[in-house]
Structures are given as C-alpha cells and as structure tokens.
Amino acid sequence: MKHVVGVADMKISPQSGDLIVTHALGSCLGLAAHDASAAVGGMLHVMMPTATANPEKAKANPWLFVDVAVPAFFAALEAAGASRRRCKLKVAGGAMVCGNDYFEIGKRNHIVLKKVLWKSGILIDAEDVGGNFARTMYMEIGSGRVWLSSGGKEWAL
C-alpha cells in the first residue's frame, strides 16, 4: 500500500512492503524513521521551526512545527511498536528554493531538528539537506530503504 504524507502531516505503517512518500520538500524537512526489528516505519513532513511562532496552530496541527512534531512523531512510532533507539533516522529538505530566503526557514528547521534530536538522544543516520532544489522522499517499510528524487534523478539516502 502507498501512503502519501502531505505538508504538516505524518504517516506510520507496520506493514512490510508498504511505501511512504512525501513530495515537495523545499524548506520543509522530511524525516523517515524505520525500526527493522519491529518492521515499523514512519515519515513526517514538517514545515516550520518552532511553535512559538503560532501556538494556536501548533495545537490544531502538531505536525506543523519541528519542536512539537518530532517528539510526537517518535511517540506515535513507539505506540505502533517501534523503538526510538532502534530506529534509523533519515532527513531531507531544508533547502532555499525561493531565491533570497531572508528568514532562512530551511536552515532554521534543520538547526531546531538537531537540537530536539540531541535532547532526546537520537542521532541522524543520513541526511540530504540544503541546496536550492525540492526533493521527494520515499521509504519502504520492512527493508527500511529510503531514497530521494528531484529533477528526474533518484538517489539512495
């Protein structure tokens, strides 16, 4: 089964062979976490760095802000049977796709992500962040394989 993760959204699957995909990772970040032992994986597409920008929006949609979404994402993975300690975490996005990005949203998203993960004792296993192009991120449940595509090209992460 194919699961599509929208902007400010996340999906988790405990079904080997399922595919999770998120499109248009520009300044947004995509996180793919997979626990091979439990055959559980999930993907998060997060948009903004911190919920302090708009606490009401954070309450309405916890997947919008990095600082709120990442802990909730790992809690949801654990509820599905994954272990945050066994999860392989891969990250993509954080680009500057609109010329001069005065607010540096992609860069700030990445910095906040690293801080949140560090506080939780979680390490990033692979990442493809920055640049000036959007990416699509794919993950296959069971194998844990993660790959990206952009501009007609695909590469493993």
Enzyme catalytic residues: 28
CA pair distance 64, 112, nearest whole angstrom: 13
**Token pair belonging to 59:** 């309450």
